Structure 1
Amino acid sequence: MVISIKNADIYQKENLVLSNVNFEVNEGEFVYLIGKTGSGKSSLLKTLYAELWLEKGQASVAGHELHTLRKKETPELRRKIGIVFQDFQLLTDRNVKKNLEFFMKAMGWSDGTQIANRIQEVLRQVDLPDVLQKMPHQLSGGEQQRIAIARALLNYPQVIMADEPTGNLDPEKSLDILKLFLKINEESNTAVLMATHDLELIERYPKRTIFCDKGTVNDLTESL
Structure 2
Amino acid sequence: MSPQGVFITIEGGEGAGKSTQIARLADRLRAAGHEVLTTREPGGTPGAEAIRALMLDPARHFAPLADTLLVFAARADHVAAVIRPALERGAVVLCDRFTDSTMAYQGYGLGVGRTTIATLETMIDLTPDLTLILDLPEPVARARLARRGSATDRYEQFDAEFAARVAAGFRAIAATAPERCVVVDAASGIEEITDALAALIRARLGLAIA
TM-score range, shorter chain: 0.3 to 0.5
More helix by share: 2
TM-score, normalised relative to structure 2: 0.41
Larger relative CO (CA 8 A, sep 6+): 1 or 2?
2
TM-score (norm 1): 0.39
Tell which structure's C-alpha radius of gyration is larger: 1
Which protein is richer in strand relative to its size? Answer: 1
